[in-house]
């Protein structure tokens, strides 16, 4: 049998339905209508037709913008819309009058959907009657819900008394604003937590969702903003009771149901990238219909049995019953969209069916309803929950077909909460005070019950919750949303989305009965915690045990899976920045080839991988050509920027030619001692690129003939003191990083042509530590890697040295702060 959840269903099948508490609400409201009415705080204002007029015009770039719609008492809003289709190609209104069946084309209507600018939780739906030009609209925002209703035609009769042709500006429009309290009629209902708690999130089978026309050809619909989305094609059933609720007017009923589906599609498109289209609308006008069931559960089985017996080959994603029976509840099979029928406890059949009761009870609600009245006053909102109940119920039960279970009172694991903005939340909606333990303080351990809603945060419920039964003050905890991005509830619905692209056929076989299999376990995801930006071939894997080989399904954000996504170990390419979020789910196969979750539950794990932004190396300081004599060592140095770790390899030859690497030369600075003049270059590498230096040449000159010298002492004599006035033997002070060329010939008795001098060099109270390098002249000679004296801050210090004196001079390089130095000579070599 199917693994469905509970609440007493017939014959071993369990179903989802609206709770018993809601039935109590409905009953109470019928008996106490006078009490309910004051809670409806609707205001009606006149809306200038100019605001809506663009809806009758052409659509430019797929968009229509309604400017300055006075949604709020304190201001206006802009509504961004796109045109879309509610009817599937070839769809029909099938009218059964008890004697014959007519197949009628859908009414000529145009449909628009979109959002209020700046309100990500909003949706807006409009339709334009192609015959009359009348416009109906429904706009829901965080602050309230707004219905746009056309009034009666303002017939302009010319003097000849013949009505002029239809003119679109012949309408007055009334913007009806209601606060949230009219969503449900009563406050203070006991929160009945009598529904399921699920051990894990994913609950649905993998299905391809696609729109098909009447011939069975698939149509991929375009989602809002032109992104490709999925579509589900519905057979919409009604019953005699709903026809009566629609004043026994087939046109009224057709328009009403079409607008209802349009509003549902708008919500599904926004939240699930899924278009909901009507394939066929079935209307019964002759006082008889196939439906005799008196409650939701029986109705659902009856619906499945009827379609299994009569429409087995009719291709559809789901069948939705909109019943006018006042059951105050609905029920639907879970996670079955697009699937075939299955055994729901012989002789009944289940499948992709949803049953919605109490539609239009007491008159069609405003979805929108141009004929709505309040207390007999035209243009007002209708009474009680009929305003929004049908939309809530339709979206909710169809949601069971698609996305699975409720979002209220559902415990989730830490892994499932990861990636949401409530990472340690343990329940999805948490719309009850007793469940509020958001992100700290030890989690609540059970689903809360009772009437204590005093401190629950507002706006927690989703379409898939019962949070509309929970009131904060007079505000119900419900929203027309499947949950916003990064909310736990939205995260959960990702499961539906990821499976929407699965490999199973859209339409199941006639008796695709599947069964659950045993349990198994899945390991957590193994993957590197960080990867370089744009890196390829990154690995991630999971494993399983205790039950054979499951089927895997991976999804990724922030990157691209480059291997198959239905295997245990995948590879992926990281994106340019941010995080990669890997999500793996494991399922086991049921009978008939259909995948089926592990005992009704797939196992999911999520891992977030940090993308390390990588900057390719860039050379900031090129090596320099230099000259050495045979046997000497030249130091080549490169400096480069880029993401660590930078590695270096020096080569001989011309830059770019890697045929001759220098062994061991793998640092930014290398010492080379070539026997002859040689060209060098270096390649700097990190994980995301390389940079090649320029080619430099180390010119090798033959070691000059050794000159044997003798030592000639001189009386110690100061040849330079930079503290003195500027001059050849005086200042200025030697600047940090500077080099001073000091002529030695002709000073202190040193003759021209000396080879070296023996000196004592002193630094005078340097302001910082450092070193000096004394080396051979002439001025401009290259600085060797050497030092002559090292000193500390403020330490006057001296050292002895013998310094080669090329061209009768020596050079003094300052590897410290700007300072004064003194050199005394005590002899020379010649």
Partner 1 sequence: MKKLTEASRIVFLVAVFSLVLTAVAPKASAQYSYYALNPCRVVDTRNANGVNGGPIMTSATQRSFAIRGVCGVPTSAKAVSFNLAVTSMTTGGFVTLWPSGQSQPTVSSINFTGTETALANGGIVGLSTNAQDLSVFDGSNSSIHIIIDVTGYFQ
Question: Which residue ranges make up the site for partner 1 (CB under 8 A)?
Answer: 629-633, 667, 703, 706-711, 713, 755-756, 758, 769, 771, 773-776, 781, 784-790, 792, 797, 799-806, 826-827, 829
**789-793 long-range contacts, CB within 8 A, separation 24+:** 789/761, 789/763, 791/763, 791/766, 791/816, 792/766, 793/766, 793/767, 793/768, 793/769
Instruction: Give exposure, 467-482, as e/b (b: 16+ Cβ within 10 Å).
Output: bbbbbbeebbbbbbbb
User: How many residues are present in the chain?
Assistant: 830
List CB contacts of 397: < 8 A, sequence separation 6 or more: 16, 320, 330, 331, 332, 354, 355, 356
Find out whether the peptide bond into 705 is cis, omega within 30 degrees of 0.
no
Q: Give the pairing of strands 373-374 and 756-764.
A: unpaired
- Identify which of residues 576 and 713 has a Cβ nearer to partner 1 in the complex: 713
* Shortest reach from residue 667's CB to partner 1, in Å: 8
Q: C-beta of 439: minimal distance to partner 1 in Å?
A: 49
Q: Which residues contact 50 (CB under 8 A, 6 or more apart)?
A: none
Q: Alpha-carbon distance 137 to 139, whole Å?
A: 7
Least separation in angstroms between residue 540's CB and partner 1 is 38
Closer by beta carbon to partner 1, 197 or else 804: 804
H runs (alpha helix) in 462-607: 488-500
In this complex, which beta carbon is closest to partner 1, that of residue 579 or of residue 760? Answer: 760
**CB-based contacts of 143: which residues, under 8 Å, 6+ apart?**
72
- Provide the minimum distance between the beta carbon of 659 and partner 1 in the complex, in angstroms, as a whole number: 25
Q: Least distance in Å: CB of 691 to partner 1?
A: 23
CB of 774 to partner 1, least distance (A): 7
Nearer to partner 1, 413 or 760 (CB): 760
Measure CA 332 to chain center. 29
Q: Please provide the distance, in angstroms rounded to a whole number, between the alpha carbons at the two ends of the chain.
A: 109
Q: How many beta carbons lie within 10 A of that of residue 698, not counting itself? A: 24
Closest distance between partner 1 and the C-beta of residue 631, in Å? 5
Please say which residue, 693 or 788, places its beta carbon nearer to partner 1. 788
Reduce the DSSP state of residue 54 to 3 states and report it.
Answer: helix
Q: Which is nearer to partner 1, 264 or 757 (CB)?
A: 757
Of the pair 136, 813, the CB lying nearest partner 1 is at 813
Closest residue by Cα to residue 512 from 595, 610, 430 = 595
Using an 8 Å Cβ cutoff, are 763 and 752 in contact?
A: no
Shorter beta-carbon distance to partner 1: residue 676 or 726: 676
CB of 633 to partner 1, least distance (A): 7
For the CB of residue 638, give the shortest distance to partner 1 in the complex, in Å. Answer: 17
- Kindly tell me which of 153 and 804 has the beta carbon lying closer to partner 1: 804
Q: How many CB atoms lie within 10 A of CB 265?
A: 26
Q: Which is nearer to partner 1, 15 or 700 (CB)?
A: 700
- Judged by beta carbon, residue 60 or residue 710, the one nearer partner 1 is 710
- Is 270 in a helix, a strand, or coil? helix
CB of 758 to partner 1, least distance (A): 6
Q: How far apart are CA 640 and CA 11, in angstroms?
A: 75
Q: Residue 608 Cβ, how far from partner 1 at the closest point, in Å?
A: 40
Look up residue 76 and give its two tokens.
């206006």
Task: Give the residues across from 697 on adjacent strands.
Answer: 679
* Segment (H or E) for 308: helix 296-310
């Amino acid at each position: 049998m199917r693994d469905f959840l509970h609440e007493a269903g017939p014959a071993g099948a369990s179903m989802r339905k609206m709770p018993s508490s809601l039935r109590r609400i409905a009953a109470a409201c019928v008996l106490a209508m006078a009490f309910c009415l004051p809670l409806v705080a609707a205001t009606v204002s006149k809306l200038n037709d100019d605001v809506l007029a663009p809806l009758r015009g052409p659509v430019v770039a797929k968009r229509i913008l309604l400017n300055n719609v006075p949604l709020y008492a304190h201001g206006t809003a802009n509504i961004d819309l796109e045109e879309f289709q509610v009817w599937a190609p070839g769809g029909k209104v099938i009218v059964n009058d008890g004697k014959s069946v007519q197949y009628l084309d859908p009414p000529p209507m145009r449909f628009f959907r979109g959002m209020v600018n700046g309100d990500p939780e909003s949706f807006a739906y409009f339709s334009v009657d192609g015959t009359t030009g009348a416009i109906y609209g429904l706009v829901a925002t965080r602050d309230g819900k707004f219905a746009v209703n056309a009034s009666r035609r303002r017939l302009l009769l010319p003097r000849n008394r013949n009505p002029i042709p239809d003119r679109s500006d012949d309408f007055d429009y009334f913007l009806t604003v209601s606060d949230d309290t009219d969503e449900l009629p009563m406050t203070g209902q006991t929160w009945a937590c009598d529904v399921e708690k699920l051990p894990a999130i994913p609950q649905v089978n993998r299905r391809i969702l696609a729109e098909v026309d009447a011939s069975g050809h698939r149509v991929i619909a375009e989602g809002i903003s032109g992104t490709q989305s999925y579509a589900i094609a519905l057979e919409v059933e009604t019953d005699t009771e709903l026809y009566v609720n629609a004043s026994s007017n087939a046109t009224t009923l057709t328009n009403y149901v079409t607008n209802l589906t349009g509003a549902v599609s708008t919500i599904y498109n926004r939240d699930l990238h899924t278009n909901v289209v009507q394939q066929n609308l079935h209307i019964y006008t002759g006082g008889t219909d196939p439906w005799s069931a008196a409650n939701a559960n029986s109705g659902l089985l009856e619906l499945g049995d009827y379609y299994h017996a009569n429409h087995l080959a009719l291709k559809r994603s789901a069948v939705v019953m909109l019943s006018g029976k006042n059951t105050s509840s609905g029920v639907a099979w879970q996670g079955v969209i697009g699937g075939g029928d299955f055994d729901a406890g012989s002789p009944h059949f289940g499948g992709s069916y949803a049953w919605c009761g109490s539609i239009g009870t007491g008159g069609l609600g405003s979805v929108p309803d141009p004929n709505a009245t309040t207390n007999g006053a035209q243009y007002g909102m209708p009474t009680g929950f009929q305003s929004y109940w049908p939309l809530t119920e339709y979206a909710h039960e169809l949601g069971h077909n698609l996305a699975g279970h409720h979002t209220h009172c559902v415990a989730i694991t830490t892994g499932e909460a990861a990636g949401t903005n409530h990472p340690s939340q343990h329940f999805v909606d948490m719309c009850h005070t007793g469940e509020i333990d958001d992100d700290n303080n030890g989690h609540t351990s059970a689903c809360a019950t009772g009437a204590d809603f005093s401190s629950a945060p507002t706006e927690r419920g989703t379409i898939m919750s019962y949070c509309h039964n929970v009131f904060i003050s007079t505000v119900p905890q419900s929203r027309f949303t499947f949950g916003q991005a990064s909310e736990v509830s939205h995260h959960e619905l990702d499961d539906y989305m990821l499976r929407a692209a699965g490999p199973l056929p859209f339409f199941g076989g006639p008796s695709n009965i599947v069964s659950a299999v045993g349990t198994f376990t899945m390991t957590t995801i193994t993957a590197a915690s960080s990867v370089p930006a744009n890196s390829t071939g990154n690995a991630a894997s999971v494993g399983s045990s205790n039950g054979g080989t499951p089927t895997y399904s991976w999804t990724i954000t922030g990157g691209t899976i480059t291997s198959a996504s239905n295997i245990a170990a995948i590879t992926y390419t990281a994106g340019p920045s941010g995080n990669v979020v890997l999500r793996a789910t494991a399922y086991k196969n049921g009978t008939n080839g259909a995948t089926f979750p592990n005992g009704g539950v797939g196992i999911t794990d999520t891992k977030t991988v940090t993308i390390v932004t990588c900057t390719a190396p860039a050379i900031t300081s090129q090596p320099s050509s230099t000259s050495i004599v045979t046997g000497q060592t030249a130091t080549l140095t490169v400096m480069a920027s880029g993401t660590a770790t930078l590695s270096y390899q020096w080569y001989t030859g011309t830059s770019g030619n890697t045929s001759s690497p220098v062994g061991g030369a793998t640092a930014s600075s290398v010492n080379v001692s070539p026997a002859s003049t040689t060209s060098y270059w270096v390649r700097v590498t990190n994980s995301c690129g390389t940079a090649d230096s320029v080619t430099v040449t180390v010119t090798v000159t033959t070691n000059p003939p050794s000159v044997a010298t003798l030592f000639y002492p001189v009386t110690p004599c100061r040849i330079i003191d930079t503290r003195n006035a500027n001059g050849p033997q005086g200042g200025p002070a030697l600047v940090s990083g500077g080099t001073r060329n000091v002529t030695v010939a002709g000073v202190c008795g040193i003759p021209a042509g000396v080879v070296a001098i023996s000196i004592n060099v002193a630094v005078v109270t340097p302001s910082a530590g450092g070193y000096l390098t004394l080396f051979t002249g002439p001025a401009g000679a290259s600085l060797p890697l050497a030092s002559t004296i090292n000193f500390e801050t403020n330490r006057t210090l001296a050292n002895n040295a013998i310094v080669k004196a090329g061209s009768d001079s020596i050079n003094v390089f300052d590897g410290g702060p700007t300072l004064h130095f003194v050199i005394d000579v005590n002899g020379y070599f010649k």
